[in-house]
Amino acid sequence: MKILVAEDQATAALFLRRTLERMGHEVEVTPDGEAAWEALGRGEASVLISDWMMPRLDGPGLCRRIRSAGGDRYIYIILVTARGAREDRLLGLQAGADDFLTKPPDPDELTVRLQIAERILAVHGELARRNAQLAELAAVDALTGVKNRRRFEQDAELLLSQARRLGRPLSLVMLDVDHFKAYNDAFGHQAGDEVLRRVGACLLRWVREQDVVARYGGEEFAAILPGASSDDAATAADRLRAAIKAGPWSHRPVTASFGVATADPAGSCTIVDLVREADRALYNSKRSGRDKVSR
Ligand code: GH3
Ligand code: MG
Ligand code: MG
Ligand code: MG
Ligand code: MG
């Protein structure tokens, strides 16, 4: 495990480092609570073994700061102290410590207590992994495999502010399947669903790593292309338009109409503005004959 030690006494710190390294752990030592807090921020330690009394920030203070910060990564905290009094243990637990060791720590006891830490951290890790899986599942449109609208809206704001920070453009492509109501009416809802699945598959083949594609509504899809200028996006959209048209389609050819809008890095438009603008362009594609890209 990666273990962070916070200990102001050099000899005690050295003893812990040697003992832990002999057990095969990766160890970083910091001389006080503030330094430990900084190390936790940049490092990957999952276990903190902290002294109680230290300059700048003491053990319980460090515990409280870690617990109130929360974060994705659980830090298992063992407080090391010569103080064994009941009141101290209560205070340590209230501050967020998981366990105690008395000073100087007995290596056998340290081994056993770290095994407990390992078990608890494994459970936390598994939960975090499953939560992430569930979040991804909840972000996907079940029919088409692209992202759903909720995730689209979350990602869009984030990607737009990121693009602004980097001084790069960002484009939004909206597409709407042409005459889809008639398709449903002629071939049934199941056949219509199959069209949406295939359009989704086309979109997933078409996107680059950094793009987000989503089902925006019934037969409407949206793609965010970070870094794409208006020309880039129009070219990409036209490639997608041609790919959708090419099919193969089982009942009759399917086409889609497109609208492209671009946020230039110096501008101040919002995602709502971009969607409105792409919608307007899409409407122009529809009005001028469909199976087109407008901007
Ligand atoms: P336009 O070219 O102007 O876009 O015409 P359209 O017929 O595609 O547009 P309209 O908005 O009139 O109809 C959209 C249709 O999409 C109506 C609705 O029943 C269908 N639809 C929406 N969601 C689904 C879905 O999940 N599955 C299927 N099969 N059809 C859907
Ligand atoms: Mg101390
Ligand atoms: Mg529509
Ligand atoms: Mg339509
Ligand atoms: Mg329509």
Q: How far is the CA of 180 from the centre of ligand 4 (A)?
A: 5
Read off the pLDDT of each residue in 228-255 and give the average, rounded to a whole number: 94
Strands (DSSP E) found in 74-178? 76-81, 99-102, 170-177
**Separation of alpha carbons 248 and 253, rounded Å:** 8
Can you give the pLDDT at residue 87? Answer: 84
Reply yes or no on whether 219 is catalytic: yes
Distance linking the first and last C-alpha atoms of the chain: 54
pLDDT at 84 over 70: no
Atom number, ligand 1, closest to the C-alpha of residue 180:
8
pLDDT at 289 over 90: yes
The single residue of 44, 87, 109, 219 carrying the catalytic annotation is 219
155 Cβ inside 6 Å of ligand 1: no
User: What tokens appear for 59 in the block?
Assistant: 């053990």
User: What tokens appear for 7 in the block?
Assistant: 């200990």
Read off the pLDDT of each residue in 179-192 and give the average, rounded to a whole number: 95
Can you give the pLDDT at residue 240? Answer: 96
179 Cβ inside 6 Å of ligand 1: yes
Atom number, ligand 1, closest to the C-alpha of residue 181:
7
Q: Which ligand is nearest to the CA of 10?
A: 2
For helices 271-287 and 149-166, the axis angle rounded to 10 degrees is 110
Predicted complex ipTM: 0.93
Protein residue with its CA nearest to atom 22 in ligand 1: 218
Protein residue with its CA nearest to atom 15 in ligand 1: 181
**Separation of alpha carbons 175 and 143, rounded Å:** 17
Q: How confident is the model at residue 88 (pLDDT cuts 50, 70, 90)?
A: confident
Protein residue with its CA nearest to atom 24 in ligand 1: 218
Read off the pLDDT of each residue in 211-231 and give the average, rounded to a whole number: 95
Read off the pLDDT of each residue in 191-207 and give the average, rounded to a whole number: 94
Can you give the pLDDT at residue 117? Answer: 96
Which H, E and C letters describe 67-102, residue by residue? HHHCCCCCCEEEEEECCCCHHHHHHHHHHCCCEEEE
Q: How does pLDDT run across 133-160, given as a tens digit for each residue?
A: 998 899 999 999 999 999 999 999 999 9
Element of type H or E holding 266: none
Q: How does pLDDT run across 9-48, given as a tens digit for each residue?
A: 999 999 999 999 999 999 999 999 999 999 999 878 999 9
Phi then psi dihedrals of residue 71, to 5 deg: 95, 165
pLDDT at 119 over 70: yes
Protein residue with its CA nearest to atom 18 in ligand 1: 181
Read off the pLDDT of each residue in 227-243 and give the average, rounded to a whole number: 96
Q: How confident is the model at residue 86 (pLDDT cuts 50, 70, 90)?
A: confident
* Among 36, 47, 101, 104, residue whose Cα is nearest residue 77: 47
Sign of the four-CA dihedral 17, 20, 24, 26? negative
Lowest mean pLDDT among 121-125, 216-220, 247-251: 247-251
Can you give the pLDDT at residue 81? Answer: 82
pLDDT at 162 over 70: yes
Chain centroid offset of residue 223 CA: 18
Cβ–Cβ contacts within 10 Å for residue 181, how many?
11
**Separation of alpha carbons 269 and 262, rounded Å:** 9
Read off the pLDDT of each residue in 72-94 and give the average, rounded to a whole number: 86
| Residues, beta carbon < 5 Å, ion ligand 4 | 176-177, 180, 219
Omega prior to 31 cis, within 30 of 0: no
pTM for the model: 0.71
User: What tokens appear for 104 in the block?
Assistant: 């100087």
Average pLDDT in the chain: 93
What percent of the chain is predicted at pLDDT more than 70? 99
**Separation of alpha carbons 160 and 146, rounded Å:** 20
